[in-house]
A and B are shown apart, each in its own frame.
Chain A
Amino acid sequence: MRPVAIAGVGESASGVVPDRTALQLHADAAAAALDDAGLSLADVDGLFTCGEGIDLLHIVRVAEYLGIRPTTFDSTLSGGSAWETFVEHAALSIAAGHCEVALIVYGSTQRSDMGRSLGTSTRGRAKGPRQFEVPYGSTTVSEYAFAAQRYMHETGATREQLAEVAVATRRHAADNPRAFYRDPITVDDVLGSRPISSPLHLLDCCVITDGGGAIVLTSLERARTLRKPPVTVLGSGSAIGAMTASQAGDITDIPARISGERAYRQAGLTAADVDTAQLYDSFTITVLLQLEALGLCPPGEAGAWVADGALDLGGALPTNTDGGGLSANHPGMRGVFLLVEAVRQLRGEADRQVANAEVALCSGTGGYLSVCSTVILGVDR
């Protein structure tokens, strides 16, 4: 099995982009990533993408729109973690010689399509398992709120400590010119923002934006001949938990524990080796639960650890250094942006650079802490 690397990353315009379609954002991001790698579209023989609302056969339409006829493809719809799972699947395909150049791409105009609704709208009659959720007024935020309330109960973490995640992430966003929100916020701002589903308030929740992102993978051998320094895929893992909190068992023990164990094992690394983390931050609680599940903080102490400045530049583990979903962008699903920022950190070209970063961990979560995927990336040496 040959080693695999990320050769290119790219983003489309993000924020509010009412004059672009979602497919254009796919194309913009793909073009940027291919240009970054010094590859052309004709080199691509593998396509990895998923999405909702563009067309019935999303990946086929995206391939058609881009004008490629890939022979390796995967459209696993596992929410925000899909892009980390795509790295896993693309790396396996490339390592086995089944695929040469894989394009992982996403684009969405969620912001312009629906405006800011925090995903709490509900349509249609409640069918299937949802008939035991929808009649009670369950929302996306309330699913995470169950986990937050339980985590606070079990560990003594406080709302102030949750708020520190949003505050630290906003500090990072200040240096990212593409971030949706860049003005500093305080813990009091978070606590005083409108309650959505207790204990989560508005500023505990990610933004909703438009945007697209893409990455290009190939063999490490080939990547070494290309435009940018390769970033190697050291390990990956994915794990499904349960769709809804009532079926999850211990709701604070999220599937990232299992996906992380698999990724660390493959990489031959431990949490102590990680220089920077890009953790899916749909909500502030999502970050604390991933820190715990991935063993990145002292067990049960994620709240105090974060309040102590761990996530900041110069802290114990600079995290979500582009401003994350809480401040920078969140176009429906943002797993691809975790990878884009991690690659930039390992190349030394980030807006808010972590000094001497050699190992980066990306942790995607999908659904309601339902499914997780972990990718560990490293500099080529």
Chain B
Amino acid sequence: MSEKTTGAKPDPKAGRHLPLPDVDTEPFWAAAAEQRLICRYDEDNERYYHYPRERAPGTLSDRTSWREVSGRGVVYSYTVVHQAASRAFRDRVPYVLALIDLDEGARMMATVDAPTDAVAIGTRVRVAWRIEEDVTLPVFVVDADADAS
């Protein structure tokens, strides 16, 4: 609140689309800041899950931990958004939003930074990093290596 403003009035809604970490999620965003993708791992059932929850969904077991994942996966479904979610996205349309099945098994929703015709169900993707203000967001890009192989 003590920031000095000069010139144009700041947008009071700027940054409101960014995450507010909590005790379930703070390590995820801290790792993202180091450009590492981590997921919660259910030790009892030997499976990864996302979004992070301290206790494992479905069992409420507390035998869970953080594990780094490869950041590679495949598009389960996607959409090209033409009508922006909010002001923050007004200049980004059209953008690709996808459900990504990580190779380790967890499913994430994220943006795929790619031309709108470059993504389909089954497209291989890998994590990339987008820095917005003080947040590093995992996003995805088409995995050219995987497509070539």
Contact A133 B109 (CB under 8 A): yes
**Secondary structure type dominating chain A contacts:** mixed
Q: Is B115 an interface residue (CB 8 A)?
A: no
> What's the least CB distance linking A129 to chain B, in Å?
5
Point out the residues of chain A lying under 8 angstroms from B18, CB to CB: 125-126, 135
CA distance A146 to B81 in the complex (A): 11
Contact A149 B20 (CB under 8 A): no
Interface string of B69-100 (1 = CB under 8 A from A): 00000001111111111101100101101010
Q: A138-B109, A194-B82 are in contact. List 5 more A-B contacts (CB 8 A).
A: A125-B19, A136-B137, A137-B88, A142-B81, A196-B83
CA distance A322 to B22 in the complex (A): 46
Closest 5 pairs (CB-CB, A-B): A131-B19, A145-B79, A122-B86, A150-B77, A137-B89
> What's the least CB distance linking A237 to chain B, in Å?
22
**B-facing residues in A153-199 (Cβ within 8 Å):** 153, 194-199
Contact A246 B99 (CB under 8 A): yes
Contact B19 A245 (CB under 8 A): no
Q: A129 with B51: in contact, given A134-B17, A153-B77, A246-B99 (CB under 8 Å)? A: yes
Q: Is B33 an interface residue (CB 8 A)?
A: no
Contact A137 B19 (CB under 8 A): no
* Residue of A whose beta carbon sits closest to that of B19: A131
Point out the residues of chain B lying under 8 angstroms from A194, CB to CB: 82-83
Point out the residues of chain B lying under 8 angstroms from A120, CB to CB: 83-86
Contact A149 B78 (CB under 8 A): yes
Contact A138 B77 (CB under 8 A): no
Contact A136 B111 (CB under 8 A): yes
Contact A245 B16 (CB under 8 A): no
Point out the residues of chain B lying under 8 angstroms from A133, CB to CB: 109
Show 21 A/B contacts (Cβ-Cβ < 8 Å), sorted by A.
A120-B85, A122-B16, A123-B86, A126-B19, A126-B20, A135-B17, A135-B19, A136-B110, A137-B84, A137-B97, A139-B85, A141-B83, A146-B78, A147-B77, A195-B80, A195-B82, A196-B82, A197-B80, A198-B80, A245-B109, A247-B51
Q: Is A21 an interface residue (CB 8 A)?
A: no
Q: Is B25 an interface residue (CB 8 A)?
A: yes
CA distance A196 to B93 in the complex (A): 10
**A-facing residues in B88-125 (Cβ within 8 Å):** 88-89, 92, 94-95, 97, 99, 107-111, 116, 121
CA distance A302 to B79 in the complex (A): 21
Point out the residues of chain A lying under 8 angstroms from B84, CB to CB: 120, 137, 139
Contact A125 B109 (CB under 8 A): no
CA distance A150 to B120 in the complex (A): 10
* Residue of B whose beta carbon sits closest to that of A131: B19
Contact B121 A149 (CB under 8 A): yes
Contact A137 B121 (CB under 8 A): no
Point out the residues of chain A lying under 8 angstroms from B92, CB to CB: 137
Q: A146 with B99: in contact, given A132-B109, A194-B82 (CB under 8 Å)? A: yes
**B-facing residues in A82-114 (Cβ within 8 Å):** none
CA distance A145 to B75 in the complex (A): 14
Contact A136 B79 (CB under 8 A): no
Q: Is B30 an interface residue (CB 8 A)?
A: no
Contact A142 B97 (CB under 8 A): yes
Residue of B22, B25, B85, B95 contacting most chain A CB atoms (<10 Å) = B85
* Residue of B whose beta carbon sits closest to that of A132: B51
